[in-house]
Amino acid sequence: MRARLARRAAASFVAWTAAALVALAAPSEASAWGLAAHRWVAARAAELVRERCPALGAAPRSALGDAAVEPDTVLKRREGRREGVRHFLNLDHYGPPPFRGLPRDRRAAEARFGRKTVEREGTLPWWGASVARRLRDELRRGDVGAARRTAGHLAHYAADATMPLHATENFDGQKTGQRGVHRRVEAELVDEDLDEYTRRAWQVAPRRPIAPGGAEGALFAALEQAYERVGPVLAADRNAARGTKVGSRLYYRRLHAGIVEVMAEQLGRAAVLTAALWEGACTVGR
């Protein structure tokens, strides 16, 4: 832990500057979990569905992991903003919790707020549900190769739905004077100490399969639960920075202590949600 913190401290200014520039260039499209975390979510989900969905459970972990990071590494580069809005939903744009002002049906949401607003504020649950339906159809026709790639993509969107900073307009702390918090949490902390976070993430219990017809509701529920963690994450960042420089060894030590339980639970939820969506698509596809 000390060695990792030292490396972070040495590169803190460069990392913070780069993160700030990225955030300014594309304010609502920061990655959610880091790439290593996304790979872990897919691998853990495969373990959970090994017996009940062998088409996905027996897939090479490297293949699932590669597919799980493609929405960030390939699709965003290829499709730009069109892909970027599929990774988040700014729930608080539509009012305070429990966000009942936002219809769960996309057509109804667009009728109320306009298509441009809905797309600007994120489309994750609707897009994720369409990916779940695609996975079901590929499994149904026996196209295992395509299904495994789609399953990796679905793992990515499901994981994004569990990341607190992908459920809020204040996704990078830019509204509370905490710009750069997104990268500090996901890449500089969780990805760097992934073993510590995933060790705790195993404690999240599996859940029942979620059929594609229920995927939209499940992703909305995941985002709503993740939003409840926004306050604690931002508070941990503020507390960690008190009396020290953001990015220092002391800062990261405090930040780790403040969010390790929260973020480990969210990672576990990401894997369990992914497995439930995969198994739901697999059961229907038999």
What is the span of the domain harbouring residue 165? 2-285
> What pTM value is reported for the model?
0.89
pLDDT at 32: 67
Contacts of 232 (CB under 8 A, 6+ apart): 258, 259, 262
Buried b (16+ CB within 10 A) or exposed e, 223-243: bbbbbebbeebbebbeebbee
Enumerate residue ranges in the chain where pLDDT < 70: 1-32, 284-286
Please state, in angstroms and rounded to a whole number, the distance separating the CA atoms of residues 230 and 226. Answer: 7
Please state, in angstroms and rounded to a whole number, the distance separating the CA atoms of residues 72 and 275. Answer: 20
Please state, in angstroms and rounded to a whole number, the distance separating the CA atoms of residues 58 and 100. Answer: 40
pLDDT at 1: 55
pLDDT at 4: 54
Name the residue among 125, 26, 165 with its Cα closest to residue 84.
26
Residues 18-45 have pLDDT tens digits of 333 333 334 444 566 899 999 999 999 9
Query: What distances in angstroms separate CA 192 from CA 37, 91, 188, 256, one per listed residue?
Result: 10, 29, 6, 11
CATH number at residue 200: 1.10.575.10
pLDDT at 283: 87
Q: How many domains does the chain have?
A: 1
Token couple for 237: 């960042």
